[in-house]
Amino acid sequence: MMQAFDVSAGVFVRGLSNLKTLLTKGEAHGTKVTASLVEGMQDLATQVHWVSEGSKAALDRVIAGSLAPAAPPSGAMTFADLHASIDGAISYLEAIDPAALEAGFERAIELPVRGGTKSYRGDRFLLEFALPNFFFHLTLVYAILRKEGVPLEKGDFMGR
C-alpha cells in the first residue's frame, strides 16, 4: 500500500533526479541558465529553483502548516549552483519523517492566492496544488531545454 511519503517526497525525489539528467544534457549542449521559453518568462535557473525549493516548501507546509519557499537567488547562477540546489532538495526530502508527513495529510492548510486564501486539507493540497505546481515547473525546464535545441526525449523527462 502506498504511503504519504511515496506519493509526495518519493515523487519529488524522482522528478528532481530526472531534472539533474536534463540539466546535465543542457549544460553539455551549451545552454545558458538564463534561457527562457519566451521573452518575459522566468528563466531556466528560476524554473529549477521552483522545482527544488517548491518541493521542499510543499512538504514543509503539509508537515508544519505555513512555511513559504525561499525566493529565487538574485545573483548569477551556474549549472553547478543548480545541481547543488537539487542535491540539497533531494537530501532534505529523503530525511523527512514519514510519520510526520502522514499526520500532515490531515492538517488544514491556508494557501495565499491572489485576492485571498484557498483552504485545503494536507492531502488535497499535495494532489491539487503541490504536485501540479512541481510538474509545471519541471515541464518548463524540459521545454526551455528543447527550445534551446537540447536533444532530449520523453524518457529523459520520465527517468528512463
Where are the domains positioned within the chain? 9-158
The secondary structure element, H or E, covering residue 120 is strand 116-121
Cα 74 vs. chain centroid, distance in angstroms? 18
pLDDT above 90 for 74: no
d(CA 9, CA 3): 10
**9-158: what CATH class?**
mainly alpha
Q: What is the pLDDT of residues 81-112, one digit of tens each?
A: 999 999 999 999 999 999 999 999 999 998 88
pLDDT above 80 for 41: yes
d(CA 69, CA 53): 6
Name the phi and psi angles at 87, rounded to 5.
-60, -40
Global pTM reads 0.93
**Degrees to nearest 5, angle at CA 85 with 81 and 89:** 170
In whole numbers, what is the pLDDT of the chain averaged over residues? Answer: 93
